[in-house]
Amino acid sequence: MADTTSLKLPGDLKDRVGQVASRVEQTPHAYMVQAISEKVERDEKRQAFWQDGLKSLEEFKRTGTGYRLEDVEKYIIAKTQGKKVRRPKPVRVSKTVR
């Protein structure tokens, strides 16, 4: 069951939501629920991406192992062209770079 929440919208935004919602054949309520849902999903993905990056950085700091940019670029280009290609090999980075 859905909980009730009230939103106080500026008049001009409320009008715009109503106009756009009617053009896409939705009620303003359905339009706002969908918009909020999409925003929450997008922000959750962004936060997960950020956390994955932090984990990768910690692992890199711990192991000193990474991939050369040139190798990764060649791999991605070959994959997008439909070529069968081996993944790049990880390399050890000197302690001065970390």
Which residues have CB under 8 Å from 83's CB, separation 6+? none
Structure tokens at 82: 């439909």
Cβ contacts of residue 30 below 8 Å, gap of 6+?
21
Please tell me the predicted confidence (pLDDT) of residue 95.
62
> What's residue 2's pLDDT?
85
CA pair distance 56, 59, nearest whole angstrom = 5
Burial class (CB in 10 A: 0-12, 13-18, 19+), 24: exposed
Structure tokens at 1: 């069951």
pLDDT in tens, 28-54: 999 999 999 999 999 999 999 999 999
Structure tokens at 72: 């990764």
pLDDT 10s digits, 62-95: 999 999 999 999 999 999 999 999 999 999 987 6
Q: What is the mean pLDDT of residues 13-38?
A: 98
pLDDT confidence of residue 9: 96
